[in-house]
Structure 1
Amino acid sequence: MRQATVSIDREALQSNLNRVKQLAPQAKIVSMVKANAYGHGLHDCLAALNATDAFGVACLAEALQIRDVGDQHDVTLIEGVFALDEMPIAIANRFEVVIHQQQQLDWLIQHQDAYQAQGLKVWVKLNSGMNRLGFKHLEIIAIIQDLQSRGFNCVLTMHFANADRDYPLNDLQVQQFLEVKTACAPILASCCNSAAIYKWPELHFDYVRPGIMLYGASPFADQSVDQLKLTPVMSFNAAIIATNQIQAGEYVGYGSTFQAEHDMQIAIVSIGYGDGYPRAYSKQNYVSINGQAVALVGRVSMDMIAIDITGLNVEIGQPVELWGKQRLVDDVAAANGTIGYELLCRLSQRPQRY
């Protein structure tokens, strides 16, 4: 059998959730499990995250997957419903919705009695400068106050555009959020994603929304998971299926982009972009064998990669870690000019999962 595997460490997931609790002990936790739990497998992660207060997903279909396995945690649809006929389904399943545009607001009011009968909170999104979703701060106050007058229990929410770094927009976003929060008091509030949980403890408020940190990857380009006291949850592995001795001047892989400068031994590993392993990298990329970094050579193909094993004692069938606890997904992502989020989410279903 082809040895390409994805293994999920549930204890690591629980440990990372506990890290959130240490950092934000007074806030409730909405664990983000959208995009199939960031590629980790929703069903594999729900049980390990049982100690969370709620789950966050992007859409109704993802929320229904949570109910399909019998999980009754609170669930927030962070992009709200996408059509009027989704609202009664959301209400029947006790999903709380984010309202970020007028049409959704109209749908909510049409279903006011049923929504309130379930005791559901409505999350109202402030567009404080990211300019994706939400109401601008000059209009959201009137919207929230109207919802409050109708008896809705509201949560003011927003999303930082640059929580992972110091940036002038951060101050503006915080200022607008606090202005709205004050004008609409008393109101529940939530604005912290993974990076903001670390960066602004004073902004934890009522709910924090950890995502990437739960899965043991860093939300910061300049801080490792070790520094953040997180543990990688996913191990992506394959095996050596062949070895070749090549001479100086010979080429490796499609396009003959790699030419050996000296005699060397290479190994072929059973993984490729068909599995979700990234093809393009702007810096030298590595895998890990027994904790040792081993360089890729030549292009990544659909099913295979080549690595330089010159001077190493390896054999066919040798396990190779593509990313995990030794070769961090954040480092693979950096070599590919992207972020760990993308690599985790775009894994295919081809590797066997454990």
Structure 2
Amino acid sequence: MRQATVYIDRQALQYNLNRVKQLAPQAKVVSMVKANAYGHGIKDCLDALKQTDAFGVACLQEALEIRELDFEQPITLIEGVFSLDEMPIVLAHNLELVVHHQQQVDWLIAHQDAYIAKNLKVWVKLNSGMNRLGFKITEIKAVIKQLQALGFNCVLAMHFANADAEHALNDAQIAQFLEIKQDCAPILASCCNSAAIYKYLELHFDYVRPGIMLYGASPFADRDVHDLDLKPVMRFTAEIIALNSIQAGESVGYGSTFIAEQAMTLAIVSIGYGDGYPRAFVAPNSVVIDGQFVAVVGRVAMDMIAIDVTNIKVDLGTEVELWGPNRLVDDVASANGTIGYELLCRLSNRPKRKIV
């Protein structure tokens, strides 16, 4: 049987949640579990996150999956509802909404008595420069004050465009946020994602919203998880299924893009882009066998990769770590010209899943 396997370490997930609480001890934690817990699996992760104050998801379907698993924490729909007919479902399951355009505000007000009676917060999104969702500063104050006057318990929310870097827009976003927070006081506030939790200790306010850091990957390009005192939650492995010897001048894989300069021993590993392992690498990539980094050679195929095992002892069935505690997913992503978030989220259903 093919042995591509995803291991989920619940203790590592708990450790990372506690790390958030250490960094932001006065704030409540909204654990982001959208996109199937960043590819880790909602069902596999929620037990390890049961000490969180709330969950954050992208859409109603994701929220209902959490409720079906009998978790009763508050859940925030970070993109709000997409149609008026979702509002009764929101109320039936005690979900909290982000509002980021006037139509959503109108839908909310049409259900204000039931929403307020359930003591559900409404998160009002500021577009302070990200320019995806939200009200501009010229309109958001009126929206908040209208909702406050109707009796809604509001949370001012914002998302940084560049929390992982030094960028002039950060200061501009913070200035807008603080101005609105002051002018609409008293109001709850939330603006820190994973990167901002580390970078802006003074901006944790009432809620922080950790995402990638919970799963033991880094929100920064220049700081790895060891620097951040986080533990990778996912370990992705496969096994060697064949060994080949090739001579100088022979090629490997589709397109014959790799030409051996000397005699080599290759191991073929049962993993490929059909499993979610990335194909298009812009820099040299490697896997780990027994703590040793081993180069990937030739193109990644749908089901297989080749690795150079010329100088190490391996056998059929030897386990290969594709990413995990030793080969960090962020480093694999960097070699692929992308970010760890993408690799984690785009895993297919083909690899087996096991809980550590």
1:253-283 deviation digits (Å, cap 9, x = unpaired): 0000000000000000000000000000100
Q: Which residue of 2 aligns with 1:62?
A: 62
**Residue identity in the other structure for 2:167:** Y
How far 1:93 sits from its partner (Å)?
0.3
- Give the Cα–Cα distance (whole angstroms) in 2 for the partners of residues 311 and 159 of structure 1: 48
| In structure 2, distance between residues paired with 1:87 and 1:184 | 26
CA shift, 1:88, in A, is 1.1
Write the mapping of 1:130-279 to structure 2, written as runs, cut at 5 A.
130-279=130-279
Q: Tell me the amino acid that sits aligned with residue 189 of structure 1.
A: A
Map of 1:282 onto structure 2: 282
2:122 matches 1:122: yes
Structure 1 residue 79, shift from structure 2 partner: 0.2
Whole-angstrom CA distance in 1 between matches of 2:117 and 2:204: 29
Matched with 1:71 is 71
Aligned to 1:335: 335
TM-score of the superposition, structure 1-length normalised?
1.00
Number of residue pairs the alignment of both structures matches: 354
In structure 1, the gaps of 5 or more residues are none
Residue 111 of structure 2 is aligned to residue 111 of structure 1: yes
Identity value in percent: 73
Give the TM-score normalised by structure 2. 0.99
Q: Distance in 1 between matches of 2:91 and 2:215?
A: 29
Corresponding residue for 1:20? 20
The residue matched to 2:226 in structure 1 has which SS?
helix
Per-residue deviation at 1:16? 0.2
Which secondary structure state, in structure 2, belongs to the residue aligned with residue 165 of structure 1?
Answer: coil
| 1:49 matched to 2:45 | no
**Offset at 1:92?**
1.0
Inter-partner Cα distance in structure 1 for 2:261 and 2:147: 70
SS for the counterpart of 1:103 is helix
Structure 1: distance between partners of 2:137 and 2:243: 61
What letter matches 1:196 in structure 2?
A
Q: Distance in 1 between matches of 2:287 and 2:353?
A: 19
Aligned equivalents of 1:107 and 1:291: distance in 2? 55
Q: Which runs of 5+ in 2 are unaligned?
A: none
Secondary structure, counterpart of 1:47 in structure 2: helix
RMSD (CA atoms): 0.4
**Offset of 1:347 from its aligned partner?**
0.2
Shift of 1:117: 1.1
| Distance in 2 of aligned mates of 1:158 and 1:224 | 25
The 2-side partners of 1:235 and 1:159 are apart by: 29
Distance 1:290 1:341 in 2: 26
d(CA) in 2 for partners of 1:134 and 1:291?
47
Please state whether the residue corresponding to 1:228 is helix, strand or coil: coil
| Matches of 2:196 and 2:289, distance apart in 1 | 35
